[in-house]
């Protein structure tokens, strides 16, 4: 075994490693800027057909390290398993399979299949028969399929053992060997493991052919003079709000904010600038000379916030950085350590704040495990706290201005005003001036708004269009969009609303249009000329124990939250339900000429008219 030199001089780019344009295109589109160390050191060897032993911690990007080159070696015209990946658990098999699917996005006709215990053989058999290029499986199930002859390995080019030490711990070592004895002689093997117990080493010696050994040490020592905190936040819009709140209450000297992509750094810097902060972005697209200018301004204090990608901030040494904000969670623990190391320099103390979404908790645990340090949860400052701060700042500013500024011009003016308006009190005058100084921006945040503390599932905000869709089969009927006071938070399905309206208000379901479910409410499109009685019935109608409280959707009440439903699954309010006409409405035959609007109840042409009620609404 030959040891790799892990000290590469300058960071390489993905395009330096020999990957195909198709793979490079995918990496660009998913926002991977640079290869992680394990990727940088494995990809070229694997592309060349060499065997690899890779040792690196979880979260260092091992999946792409083997998947990218091995996918590139696949012959798409050959409809047989060419890449087999063993993973210790069903979850990991699925996760790796999904990653492979993503990385292979540019490969037309490519198929990957996860196989694991607990899933019926039938589901796995069909794709296997049809032909897949890559199989990701747990050892036991892969063994079963090989025994049954349903997984044929004669065309296999490469084999990956992912998380080998984990498999050993789980007692899979004999299964692994069994499988490895059955793969073709002429194949390539990559073995990845976080640690190298002797059993794994022996397996490697027995099966691998002159493997390159790549060992990535994680630099995970974090300085103790940096206070580490994290904050649970929801989607994009909430992150920005969370950030501005934090910026408002903390005392910071200079801050660096890490964002995942180049585009994000620019957007974020612009938004912060619009909120009155001196912020600039630095990323890999910004020219060296420009970058230096920005960093100089940052050093000298004419910029207080730098929004950066990991690459752009590499090696940055600015002692006045008091705060690091991980706006987007880093891809691995090592990156985290690098990032927060931008503060607490030259013996000073620093603070690092990490934003974590619910889906990213695993990464948070990973960082804590690898760095062996607890990151303290913090709550976002509430509107109340912010408002108190604003009051204090306001008072402080008055005191400061009185003691530090020359006010003679204004004193004279105010004096004149007072003489001419004796009835106006001093307080009134001062308040009017404060109002002028404040401008149109309200001094206080609304304290009624939902806060998104640690235990609340935050959702993103969405403005729902108030315009109703027309009915597919009765497009001539004027429709209106209504709001009902139930949504995902009440476990409502479109069928519940449809059923309630159809049954309780006795409305023919063909006149019930689009139904959209959001977390805090739902909308339903109904005929504009709905009889008042029907409307009254609908107000009182109860669905899943909640009153519908139907009302028209307006520009004032159309702010929905999505993505924070309590159903445990993601739902971004895309759940739409359009009720198609069963064709019973004869009025639709007039080809849209129907001028039924407002005349429905007066017309006597019987069933050629829209009839919203099957019978009189219940009283």
Binding string to ligand ADP for residues 321 to 340, with x set by CB under 6 A, is what? ----------x---------
Please, which residue, 32 or 207, has the CB nearer to ligand ADP?
Answer: 32
- Rounded to an integer, what distance in angstroms lies between the CA atom of residue 53 and that of residue 214? 6
Instruction: Look up tokens 């409280």; give the residue.
Output: 549
Q: Torsion over CA of 452, 454, 457 and 459, rounded to 10 degrees?
A: 30
Q: State the nearest-atom distance from the C-beta of 53 to ligand ADP, in Å.
A: 14
**Residue 81 in the binding site for ligand ADP (CB under 6 A):** no
The closest of 135, 141, 92, 84 to 111, measured between CA atoms, is: 135
The footprint of ligand ADP on this chain (CB under 6 A) covers a number of residues equal to 12
- Rounded to an integer, what distance in angstroms lies between the CA atom of residue 398 and that of residue 443? 15
**Residue 32 in the binding site for ligand ADP (CB under 6 A):** yes
Q: How far is CA 524 from CA 471, 482, 562, in A?
A: 12, 5, 16
* Interface with ligand ADP (CB under 6 A), residue from 4, 63, 138, 193: 63
Q: State the nearest-atom distance from the C-beta of 63 to ligand ADP, in Å.
A: 3
Residues 481 and 525 sit within 8 Å (Cβ to Cβ): yes
Please, which residue, 160 or 324, has the CB nearer to Mg ion?
Answer: 160
- Rounded to an integer, what distance in angstroms lies between the CA atom of residue 535 and that of residue 160? 63
* Interface with ligand ADP (CB under 6 A), residue from 4, 55, 60, 138: 60
Q: State the nearest-atom distance from the C-beta of 92 to ligand ADP, in Å.
A: 9
Q: State the nearest-atom distance from the C-beta of 41 to ligand ADP, in Å.
A: 13
Q: State the nearest-atom distance from the C-beta of 193 to ligand ADP, in Å.
A: 11
Q: How far is CA 562 from CA 29, 379, 518, 534, 566, in A?
A: 26, 22, 6, 29, 11
| Residue 309 touches which of Mg ion, ligand ADP, none (Cβ within 5-8 Å per kind) | none
**Residue 64 in the binding site for ligand ADP (CB under 6 A):** yes
**Residue 87 in the binding site for ligand ADP (CB under 6 A):** no
Stretch that binds ligand ADP, among 59-67, 114-122, 148-156, 343-351 (CB under 6 A): 59-67
Which residues, including other chains, have CB under 8 Å from residue 370's CB and lie 6 or more apart?
A: 57, 58, 59, 218, 220, 333, 334
The closest of 352, 367, 387 to 256, measured between CA atoms, is: 352
**Residue 97 in the binding site for ligand ADP (CB under 6 A):** no
Please, which residue, 87 or 303, has the CB nearer to Mg ion?
Answer: 87
Give me the residues that bind Mg ion (CB under 5 A), please: 62
* Interface with ligand ADP (CB under 6 A), residue from 26, 41, 43, 59: 59
The closest of 168, 127, 121 to 142, measured between CA atoms, is: 121
| Residue 546 touches which of Mg ion, ligand ADP, none (Cβ within 5-8 Å per kind) | none
Q: How far is CA 523 from CA 245, 318, 554, 577, in A?
A: 32, 52, 11, 10
At 156, give phi and psi (nearest 5°): -65, 130
* Interface with ligand ADP (CB under 6 A), residue from 17, 19, 35, 333: 35
- Rounded to an integer, what distance in angstroms lies between the CA atom of residue 438 and that of residue 442? 8
* Interface with ligand ADP (CB under 6 A), residue from 23, 45, 51, 61: 61
Residues that bind ligand ADP (CB under 6 A): 32, 35-36, 39, 58-64, 331
């Amino acid at each position: 075994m030959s040891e790799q030199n892990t000290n590469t001089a300058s960071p390489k780019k993905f395009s330096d490693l020999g990957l195909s344009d198709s793979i490079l295109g995918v990496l660009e589109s998913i926002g991977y800027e640079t290869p992680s160390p394990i990727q940088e050191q494995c990809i070229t060897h694997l592309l060349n057909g060499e065997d690899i032993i890779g040792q690196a911690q979880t979260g260092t990007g091992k999946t792409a390290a083997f998947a990218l080159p091995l996918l590139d070696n696949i012959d798409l015209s050959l409809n047989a398993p060419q890449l087999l990946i063993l993973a210790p658990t069903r979850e990991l098999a699925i996760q790796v399979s999904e990653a492979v699917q993503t990385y292979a996005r540019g490969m037309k006709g490519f198929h990957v299949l996860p196989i694991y215990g607990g899933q019926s053989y039938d589901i796995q058999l069909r794709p296997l028969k049809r032909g897949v290029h890559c199989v990701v499986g747990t050892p036991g199930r892969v063994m079963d399929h090989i025994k049954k002859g349903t997984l044929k390995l004669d065309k296999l080019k490469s084999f990956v053992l992912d998380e080998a030490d984990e498999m050993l711990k789980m007692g899979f070592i004999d299964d692994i060997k069994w499988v490895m004895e059955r793969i073709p002689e002429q194949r390539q093997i990559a073995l990845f493991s976080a640690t190298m117990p002797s059993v794994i080493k022996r397996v490697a010696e027995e099966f691998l052919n002159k493997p390159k050994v790549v060992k990535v040490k994680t630099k995970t020592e974090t300085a103790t003079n940096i206070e580490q905190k994290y904050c649970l936040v929801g989607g994009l819009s909430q992150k920005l709000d969370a950030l501005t709140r934090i910026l408002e209450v903390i005392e910071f000297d200079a801050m660096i904010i890490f964002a995942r992509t180049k585009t994000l750094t620019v957007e974020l810097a612009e938004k912060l600038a619009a909120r009155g902060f001196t912020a600039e972005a630095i990323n890999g697209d910004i020219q060296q000379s420009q970058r230096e200018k920005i960093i100089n301004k940052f050093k000298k204090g004419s910029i207080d916030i730098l929004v950066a990608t990991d690459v752009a901030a590499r090696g940055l040494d600015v002692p006045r950085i008091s705060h690091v904000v991980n706006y987007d969670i880093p891809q691995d623990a090592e990156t985290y350590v690098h990032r927060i190391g931008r503060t607490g320099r030259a013996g000073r103390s620093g603070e690092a704040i990490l934003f974590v979404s619910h889906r990213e908790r695993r990464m948070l645990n990973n960082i804590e495990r690898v760095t062996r340090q607890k990151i303290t949860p913090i709550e976002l400052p509430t509107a109340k706290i912010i408002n108190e701060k604003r009051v204090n700042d306001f008072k402080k500013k008055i005191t400061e201005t009185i003691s530090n500024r020359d006010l003679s011009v204004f004193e004279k003016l105010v004096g004149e005003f007072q003489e001419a308006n004796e009835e106006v009190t001093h307080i009134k005058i001062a308040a009017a001036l404060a109002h002028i100084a404040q401008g149109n921006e309200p001094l206080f945040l609304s304290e009624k708004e939902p806060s998104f503390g640690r235990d609340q599932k935050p959702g993103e905000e969405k403005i729902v269009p108030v315009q109703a869709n027309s009915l597919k089969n009765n497009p001539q009927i004027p429709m209106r969009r209504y709001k009902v006071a139930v949504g995902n938070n009440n476990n409502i399905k479109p069928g519940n609303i449809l059923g309630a309206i159809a049954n309780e208000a006795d409305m023919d379901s063909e006149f019930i249009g689009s139904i959209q479910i959001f977390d805090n409410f739902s909308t339903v499109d109904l005929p504009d000329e709905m009889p008042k009685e029907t409307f009254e019935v609908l107000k009182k109608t109860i669905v899943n124990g909640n009153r519908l409280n139907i009302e028209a959707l307006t520009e004032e009440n159309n702010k929905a939250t999505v993505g924070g439903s309590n159903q445990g699954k993601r739902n971004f309010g895309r759940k739409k339900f359009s009720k198609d006409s069963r064709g019973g409405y004869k009025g639709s035959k007039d080809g849209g000429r129907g001028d039924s609007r407002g005349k429905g109840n007066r017309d006597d042409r019987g069933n050629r008219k829209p009839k919203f009620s099957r019978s009189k609404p219940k009283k």
